[in-house]
Amino acid sequence: MAKLKEFLKHGQSIWLDYIHRDLFTSGELKKLVKDGLRGITSNPTIFNKAIAGGETYDPIIKELVQAGKSTQEIYDELVLRDIIDACDELSAVYKSSGGEDGFVSLEVSPDLAHDTEGTIADAKRYNEAVNRDNLMIKVPATIEGYAAVTELIAVGVNINSTLIFSNEAYRNVANAYIAGLEKRAGNGEDISKIASVASYFVSRVDGPVDKRLQEQNNESLLGKISIANCKLAYELYQEIFSGERWEKLAEKGAKPQRLLWGSTGAKNPAYSDVMYVDELIGKGTVNTVPPATLDAILDHSVVADTVTKDLDLAKQYLAELAALGIDLDKITTQLMKDGIVSFQDAFAELMQSIDEKKKAFQTI
């Protein structure tokens, strides 16, 4: 387990992209934190698998049904219990890291992805309900989401900007964060305790790109574009969080918004199961991994500074892709749309499952 602490020596924190009540009751989370885990991320799909995928949560659901709670109230209670328990388990990491790590992410309703005011209201509601300094609220990187991020940062809510697939979206997210800090500082409020990450979804990009490459019988770029794109994002991170505009905020204690690599489990079995981890290690980054990828990391990851390595080659790969007539912007735009729909579907499925369990328990 010392492997997780090796990443930290290179400036990267490993978070777990998974949450389930069993993590707490079994003591597994406590052990992982002791061994170097630095945070947790969740999303509607993860909660759907946890709550609807078994009977672990049924006793709590039955209790809430008997108390006359609605389906939405039951959902909130189930999710908030897990998030609060996770925050408490990671509070020591938050304190010892000076507020750099120890965060637990909770996503606003995916149905609000294109609703700025609704997102702000949902985020504030969850932030108040959890009432923990190490909570991060996840907001999708839509046009409406950018505006919500600025307002939420300005009022002191930690933000995980999620579903980022392109460097244009990443730049917008980073600028929204900085604008929020500027607004908060302009109001005379402390910005030193605000934290944010920008969640860049990695492996999903290679799927549709590889498909188009194979259609052109091009094997030289297979499995290379997503990592190349992320390396350029890191170069952008270094550019944005430096210079006069940023330094004015840094002097007031502002923390850079760290790049978080998400969706880092390899989807293609032909690729190494730690490819999207080992190739993106570097200072000021986070990698959030599902349990299977965490096991693979512990078994055979090679930890070294890699995110800044072969940057010119990464740019060459992207230039070659464009020369083939493959439009990466078009692909990432579609991935964003698909990602929102996927989370909306998972959320709807979870609410339906809770509703069905509710009806079953009402007849007992």
Report the distance separating Cα 167 and Cα 82, nearest Å.
33
Q: Which portions of the chain are predicted below pLDDT 50?
A: none
pLDDT at res. 2: 81
**pTM value?**
0.96
| Residue 138 bears catalytic tag | yes
pLDDT at res. 364: 62
**Structural domain spans, the chain:** 2-362
Q: Quick one: tokens of 356?
A: 């069905």
pLDDT at res. 157: 98
DSSP-assigned beta bridge partners for residue 161 = 139, 198
Alpha-helical (H) ranges within the chain are 2-9, 21-25, 28-34, 44-52, 58-66, 71-89, 91-96, 116-130, 143-154, 167-186, 203-215, 225-240, 243-250, 275-278, 291-300, 311-323, 328-362
Fold of 2-362: TIM Barrel (3.20.20)
Q: Tell whether the torsion through CA atoms of 336, 338, 341 and 347 is positive or negative.
A: negative
Distances (CA, A) of 122 to 108, 152, 252, 329, 332: 6, 11, 29, 30, 27
Which of 5, 9, 30, 138 is flagged as catalytic? 138
Helix (H) or strand (E) holding 241: none
User: Residues 34-55: pLDDT tens digits?
Assistant: 999 999 999 999 999 999 888 9
User: Residues 274-304: pLDDT tens digits?
Assistant: 999 999 999 999 999 999 999 999 999 999 9
Rg for the chain (alpha carbons), in Å? 20
